[in-house]
Structure 1
Amino acid sequence: MEWRKVSFGKREVCYEVTLNNLKMIVTADVGPRILFFGFKNGENVLFHDVEEKLSIGEMKFYGGHRFWISPESKDTYNPDNSPCKVEEEKDKISFISFDPITQMEKKLSILEKNGNFIVRHILTNKGKTLYPGAIWALTCIPPKKGIIFFPWGTRGDWQLKKITYWQKWGGSSSTNIKSSQFVPEEDLFLIYPSGEEGKVGTAGYEGFVGVTTDNYTFIKKFNYMEGALYPDDNCAIEVYTSPNFCELETLSPMYTLIPNAEVMHDEEWILLPYKVDPKNGYEVRKILR
């Protein structure tokens, strides 16, 4: 894995990280944010708000991949528009930000495993009091493109399937549970993004969420912790759809962080140059072995 300093869009201080035929661009100007992910000479798998117009108050979305803390609260939207500290080590590069309101430090590290990028999220309580929360890893992808898929059942012989619909949040946002974009297939739950706003989640026992298009298949793989308590009615996987972008979200269990305590959540980013049939769960799971 190698990296070099570059500019990207409106962001002057970024790092282009390459691994085999993969490329990632992370900005240190703000965030941290991963603004690009794809093949070296390919398209951006992520949605990037090039003009940086999307915002809630002073908090800008920027697009790409971001690091939040769940459950969602007013502190979720604290602006993170300040530069990040960059740590360069032999086997990884890290981007560190600090929220003076919550006294929480976020460290986003990029490293390598099995020929893929590992996106590591480390949350540290720098305050003097307890802080409850979970790591929330959100990846923006282009809207109305491809088919989103994730497992929604338990493992083993005793099968249960669960989907949580966000019926109302943020004052005016809601999900139409009868929307045709949500398709509960026998194996994987599928979403055909239509531009509607909505959000769903599930327990996520198998630990993956992805999207497949005519040109590529992108999967985020993580370690689900059996018996742990997750946010939002025990959801480790969440997917948001909207006219501007969709989000593939994974979460860590809930923690109560004592001062100076840290917790970690890893995602393995898998990218293949072809489309898979998400109705065929076996084909998807072969990728993950």
Structure 2
Amino acid sequence: MAFEKVSYAGWEQCVRLSNDQIELIATQEVGPRIIRLGFRGEKNVFGEIKADLGKKGGEEWRIYGGHRLWHAPEARPRTYYPDNQPVNVSGEENLLVLIQPEEETTRLEKRMILEIDEQENHV
């Protein structure tokens, strides 16, 4: 089991949560977003948008890739609020918590709480 700070795809501040079989990587510089999920040493099961990898800041919405939280019903511009700012990250061994600052237009605070199984390949 591991909870460690890593760099990934152009972002210097990411967090990896892993066990002997799988790993997930979350960005700290944008999000909350899980940018990678996969078996260790294997292909990312999430898509990655090469043109957006490593970018941060700005007012435009970017796809980046990975997984992000959406709120429903989907509607522009509310659902497409840019997640281009740093997030608060905490965790230990098999637990990761990501908290986005409150969105200015919606007043929502997005939060992801992820727990990886100690031995199995599921989150």
Q: What interval of TM-score do these two structures reach, taking the shorter chain for normalisation?
A: 0.7 to 0.9
SS where residue 44 of structure 1 aligns? coil
Match of 2:120 among 115, 118, 130: 115
Amino acid at match of 1:109: I
1:58-101: CA deviation from partner (whole Å, max 9, x where unpaired): 11110011101010112001111000001224641111102121
SS where residue 15 of structure 2 aligns? strand
Contact kept, 8 Å, 1:2 with 1:19, in 2: the verdict is yes
1:91-134: CA deviation from partner (whole Å, max 9, x where unpaired): 4111110212111111112203472443xxxxxxxxxxxxxxxx
1:131-174: CA deviation from partner (whole Å, max 9, x where unpaired): xxxxxxxxxxxxxxxxxxxxxxxxxxxxxxxxxxxxxxxxxxxx
TM-score of the pair, normalised by structure 2: 0.83
In structure 2, C-alpha distance between the alignment counterparts of 1:90 and 1:45, rounded to whole Å:
22
Amino acid at match of 1:30: V
Work out the number of aligned pairs and report it.
Answer: 115
In structure 1, C-alpha distance between the alignment counterparts of 2:94 and 2:9, rounded to whole Å:
27
TM-score of the pair, normalised by structure 1: 0.37
The runs of at least 4 consecutive aligned structure 1 residues that moved more than 4 Å come to none
Matched ranges for 1:71-90 at <5 A:
71-73=73-75, 74-89=77-92
- Alpha carbon RMSD of aligned pairs, Å? 1.9
SS where residue 69 of structure 1 aligns? coil
Q: Percent identity?
A: 34
Contact kept, 8 Å, 2:18 with 2:94, in 1: the verdict is no
In structure 1, C-alpha distance between the alignment counterparts of 2:9 and 2:93, rounded to whole Å:
28
In structure 2, C-alpha distance between the alignment counterparts of 1:3 and 1:50, rounded to whole Å:
26
Amino acid at match of 1:68: W
SS where residue 65 of structure 2 aligns? coil
SS where residue 79 of structure 2 aligns? helix
The structure with the greater share of residues assigned to strand is: 1
Higher relative contact order (CA closer than 8 Å, sequence separation 6+): 2
1:213-262: CA deviation from partner (whole Å, max 9, x where unpaired): xxxxxxxxxxxxxxxxxxxxxxxxxxxxxxxxxxxxxxxxxxxxxxxxxx
In structure 2, C-alpha distance between the alignment counterparts of 1:16 and 1:91, rounded to whole Å:
10
